[in-house]
Structure 1
Amino acid sequence: MSATYGVPNLEHCIIIAVIHNDGTMHSIGVINLEEFDNAAAVEIFAGRSLDSEEFAIRVVAVADADHAAQGVFALDAITGAAERAGISLLNVIMTPKIAAGQHWTDLRTQEYGILPDPAMTAPAIAAIVDGFGPLPDAEEITRLFTEITPADTDHARTTQRDNPRFGRDTLHEVRKTIVEYLRTYDPDWADGGVIGADFAADERTRLLDNTAEGLAARIGVLVEVSGSARDALLGLAVIDIPTAARIYTHIANQLEGIHRAHMLAVAAVLYHVDGRPFHARDALYRCGLAVLGESGHLSETMPVIGRALLAAARANVETDTARRFLALGPIAARRFGIETPDYDLYPAE
């Protein structure tokens, strides 16, 4: 049950897992209890060809006290339909919630136990190693990418046109912001750390807020007109990838249209490399929305990085593609007079 950590918001529902006789998962389905009836139980197995010698099913009702009666009704209906279809049943389980410490009971065998932390099961740890977990909180992701007061790019556009050092100066300021943000995590920062964690958090908030004083607008203009600057932002990110991802996302939230799309595409690269594919895909989705909001024609103006990640997703090579983009970043940063660490594409070799 806890291995289903990758499915969000599992509550008040029925989970049906079809399992091969070698123990591997064939498929999994989730049905909302509010939408369940006898017809649904029959429909589940209608026209299915599940050889009882090759497959078996495990059924779990996730139902708190207010939904327990619905859960028992659904389990009875599904087990009856499965038996009529000649399908083997491994378990018929009730639990109020899929979370660490919750009790479960098998209604067929009367076995019972306590669920482990879903994020610490063997499948969850394997998914983390492979870069596909654990599933983040959906509300946290929404907050992370929520747009805020948009920056006024008009003045920045004029400055970019009149100042030949515009790109270099802007990228140097980004580098300074990344370094200062990263320093707040150093235990020896701020008088040996005596000021405390609250002060460090406040300082990080201040640094993010300061981007509204012109930096976000300048970055927005710069990434629209300069491909080398977009690559240089990836080079700066090698200083500390999680820090850069956070700062770039905050900057993107102050931008609109193609400016926002470019920054979200850059952030998506960082989230993939940092092992946060759910964040990366959400960034890419919002990148597309930003482009559609401006032009109505996704294929015409989707940033190159965004298009490359979308193509990579179809072949399941998103992280590889993101890492190759990141490896080019330090080269681009040097064009603007900024030295950054190189990114090692082959750390295990």
Structure 2
Amino acid sequence: MASQKIQELLGDQAAYYLDHTCTTIDKSSLYLPTGTAVNDVWMNSNRNVQTLRSISTLMNHGRLANSGYVSILPVDQGIEHSAGASFAPNPIYFDPENIVKLAIEGGCNAVASTYGVLGAVARKYAHQIPFIVKINHNEFISYPNRFDQIMFGNIKDAWNMGAVAVGATIYFGSEESHRQIVEVAKAFEYAHELGMATVLWCYLRNNSFKKDGVDYHTAADLTAQSNHLGVTIQADIIKQKLPTNNGGYTAINFGKTHKDVYNKLTTDHPIDLARYQVANCYMGRVGLINSGGESKGASDMAEAVMTAVVNKRAGGMGLISGRKAFQKPMNEGVSLLNTIQDVYLDNSITVA
């Protein structure tokens, strides 16, 4: 039985999340997170020895070391959402050192941030916690705003500052997505040549993905397909938002899908929807981490725990949570990160 704290945070939905049995894609079909994933899964891939070591370094740090699960602190919001919007609630995080300190104090596997943030403190911290350098961004100051991700540096710079991995975003479905796919695929290829792991933010951006008052940017079928594109360009970890609905293909009436996606491979349960995301990551060969989402204040802890439970029980490999952690006092951020990690350390919370 899950700890009392986790059950209390889930509230009257505890049984809904903790007792669910997945009858769509059976867990026996999945490559589930283990402490030996590099030997069990990645050893047979085309990743070179240095990249295997980087993946292992990433997975074997922090409170979740050797569990197969990861907890990552991502702080690229200073560009993606503007520094004011991101750091005004807690101005200490205008200083890059405090971002890295939060990841270390919070027991994270890694810290993911910009060239500038990580470069500013690389000599002091790159050997203390794995760095994931985010190589592209939606700069969010052009007007009107555009759905585009542009490169902010080069892979060699990330390698020179001691990064274990690089991260990138592709806005699948946007007008610029074709260019982004080519750019990121080439960047990931070079990162692998240098021995770094790769993490892809697989996000959807297209105003047409909103139909009849419903936003399908987080539909299970569409997000899962973006995951499938992400693993195709050889991301080692996929970052994706937790699905909130389904049927994007059929509602918008584009692309190709199959009735079994909705009748057999998914249900309305959040764990089953996330299971379909995992399936599209080569049945879990490539780990799925779900994002923690924006900070909403008092409900942050409960929402983070719910997301972690859904991800873990679906077969995912962890959570990447930023604003919920850094937009509050550091001790509260550390507590939130540790509580997320407690979900993955709790052996009674099993894959559904």
Same fold (TM over 0.5): no
TM-score (norm 2): 0.25
More helix by share: 1
TM-score (norm 1): 0.25
Larger RCO (CA within 8 A; separation ≥ 6): 2
- Indicate the structure (1 or 2) with the bigger Cα radius of gyration: 1
